[in-house]
Amino acid sequence: MQSFPPCAELHLHIEGTLEPDLVFELAARNRITLPYADAADLAARYAFTDLQSFLDLYYATMDVLRTEADFADMTRAYLRRAAAAGVRHAEIMMDPQAHLIRGIPLATCVNGVSSVLATSEAEFGVSTLLIAAFLRDRPAAEALDVLRDLLDMKAPIVGIGLDSAEVGYPPSLFAEVYDVARSAGLRCVAHAGEEGPPSYIREALDVLRAERIDHGIRCLEDEALVERLVADRVPLTVCPLSNVRLGAVDDLPAHPLPVMLARGLNVSVNSDDPAYFGGYLDDNLMAVGETFGWGAAELAIVAGNSLRSAFLDDARRSLLLAELEVWASEQERDGVVQHPRTR
């Protein structure tokens, strides 16, 4: 019996799945000399004090991605691991600007990732969609140019997102980018309320007209905002281990996730950048389950939220919700009360 519920992962940066072993494998393939002794030495550096300290290493290790095959291998490795974690659908963010500014053609990164996503359901049992995320600490005009290039090349993206350093870069800076994306029929999500204030969540909703908020944990500081998010069932893609690793919360017991769930917010659990933040989706579910004493009922709620908040077609959504119902029934039949410890 599966230990974790079938679910969707809605907050995942594909570049954040680069495990140290793969970094070294790609470096050797591309004849790149890394400033680390070995994979263990690199892994030891995956300790961060804030978002910026993570981003510095994130962009440095990303430099090993040079060819379509590199992007494909990274994507394939994630999907293999995600399938083992119970992920049945993944909406994967990619940062095209991070590759363009180091001289990698747009087609290389897009084609490398999308070539694997095209067969992900057949190969891994995981349906997938691709989201182009823009770096908010770079000019909005640059993001608009990249978006237009993506549209011109008919890139297989379902939507756009907004990520990277949050503080000092309010969502409203990217209003035109989101207007163009929406006019092109793309779905809209945005990071807000991780390190940035609750007002960034409001801006993402009101100015960008974002359909999902990535993170959103600081919404609890604004009671009127909480009431709005609950009433409108706005999805919040929460990443517990990431929030702890980056210092957004002091430790996992202090994480607001249980309060958010109790308040009726539409929260799901996600892994963000799992290679850097201590675990994939099952690791996150295990950690919150053990910390907060969650049983199958709570896991089924967040899994159901993820499936209902995904940009899925009705047939696929219905199929996955039916799988979740079977999982929940099996847990109840077998008397599973507490979160299963599988490791």
CB atoms within 10 A of CB 29: 14
Q: Reading across the β-sheet that carries 187-192, which strands appear in turn?
A: 7-13, 87-94, 127-135, 159-163, 187-192, 212-215, 235-238, 266-269
DSSP-assigned beta bridge partners for residue 187: 159
Q: How far apart are CA 41 and CA 20, in angstroms?
A: 9
CA nearest to 216, candidates 268, 252, 160: 268
Burial of 17 (0-12, 13-18, 19+ CB in 10 A): buried
State the DSSP code for 339: P
307: Cα within 13 Å, side-chain hemisphere: 25
| Strand pairing category for 212-215 and 187-192 | parallel
Which residue of the set 9, 68, 91, 194 is catalytic?
A: 194
Burial of 213 (0-12, 13-18, 19+ CB in 10 A): buried
Q: How far apart are CA 177 and CA 99, in angstroms?
A: 19
Active site residue 330: no
Take residue 263 and report the two structure tokens written for it.
Answer: 């308040």
Q: 91 in helix, strand or coil?
A: strand
DSSP-assigned beta bridge partners for residue 93: 13, 131
Report the catalytic residues: 194
